[in-house]
Amino acid sequence: NAGVMQNPRHLVRRRGQEARLRCSPMKGHSHVYWYRQLPEEGLKFMVYLQKENIIDESGMPKERFSAEFPKEGPSILRIQQVVRGDSAAYFCASSPSGGTTGNTIYFGEGSWLTVV
Amino acid sequence: GESVGLHLPTLSVQEGDNSIINCAYSNSASDYFIWYKQESGKGPQFIIDIRSNMDKRQGQRVTVLLNKTVKHLSLQIAATQPGDSAVYFCAETYGGATNKLIFGTGTLLAVQP
């Protein structure tokens, strides 16, 4: 009965390197969301994906950030040429369908990115 | 604009007391609201939700109240326990087919034994 699985849980990158964060949704879930949380702040929506489609990327920075959810395999959030301001916790969530049903949105435990 | 890393509002209560955590939401068009609990180093955990056609909803030891007139949401926790210590976030969303949640800044609940 695995929940939303994220890895790595902790990642350290030097400025200019690339960070790849992976998210495997709950079994049977085809909708994936990525959120970012800065220290002592709430989560900020980044992107909403279904299999092979980006549905809403209105929260994604215009440069260096990309996300995908391929037909097979986990969803990937990719950050190129990381800067110190990218240091944050990145949370993935999944749901079996879209629409406003909060009790079927499940969050993972997060990936903590530290840029040094 | 971007918020600077401010200290979270903190609510300190004695074990066994009732807790009330408040949240002001931003969009009058929001029609669905959720309370999440986040423990240190973990992801948000669903507590209770409410739709805009209701003003009160009760769960196990928790009650959510919605006042659309002043765009205010509250979470009441009865007989607060040490395990309730966490950061609590309200989240709102409005219509559409996406679960794009807008989170508040959070309140740290500290339960004193």
Residue A95 · residue B99 · CB < 8 Å: yes
Per-residue model confidence as pLDDT tens digits over A56-91: 999 999 999 999 999 999 999 999 999 999 999 999
Residue B3 pLDDT: 36
pLDDT band per the 50, 70, 90 thresholds, residue B39: very high
pLDDT band per the 50, 70, 90 thresholds, residue B2: very low
Distance between CA atoms of residues B75 and B22, nearest Å: 6
CB contacts of B43 in chain A (<8 Å) are 4, 91, 107-110
Residue A41 pLDDT: 84
Residue A11 pLDDT: 98
Please identify which residue in the block is written with the tokens 């009965």.
A1
| Least CB–CB distance from B100: residue in A4, A39, A48 | A48
Residue A40 pLDDT: 78
B35 or A39, greater pLDDT: B35
Summary mean pLDDT of chain B: 89
Residue A116 pLDDT: 97
The pair of three-digit structure tokens given for residue B50, joined into one six-digit string = 């409410």
Residue A103 pLDDT: 54
Backbone dihedral region for residue A58 (phi beyond 0: left; psi -120 to 50: alpha; all else: beta): alpha
Over range A43-52, report the average pLDDT: 93
pLDDT band per the 50, 70, 90 thresholds, residue B4: very low
DSSP output for B46-78: EEEEEETT-SEEE-SSEEEEEETTTTEEEEEES
Contact B99 A105 (CB under 8 A): yes
Does the structure show a pLDDT above 80 at B5? no
**How close, in Å, is residue A45 to chain B by CA atoms?**
6
Interchain contact A39–B (C-beta under 8 A): yes
Summary mean pLDDT of chain A: 92
Contact B46 A105 (CB under 8 A): yes
Residue A113 · residue A15 · CB < 8 Å: no
Does the structure show a pLDDT above 50 at B108? yes
CA distances from A75 to A18, A58, B66, B86, B106 (A): 16, 17, 35, 29, 27
User: What percentage of chain A has pLDDT greater than the value 70?
Assistant: 93
Report the helix count and the strand count for chain A, using DSSP H and E.
0, 11
Residue B1 pLDDT: 34
Tell me the sheet residues that pair with B73.
Answer: B23, B66
Q: What is the dihedral of CA A36, A39, A43, A48, to 10 degrees?
A: 0
Residue A99 pLDDT: 57
Backbone dihedral region for residue A79 (phi beyond 0: left; psi -120 to 50: alpha; all else: beta): beta
Closest CA to B73 of B59, B54, B87: B54
Highest mean pLDDT among A26-30, A40-44, B20-24: B20-24
Residue A85: strand, helix, or coil? helix
pLDDT band per the 50, 70, 90 thresholds, residue B84: very high
A104 or A47, greater pLDDT: A47
Does the structure show a pLDDT above 70 at A51? yes
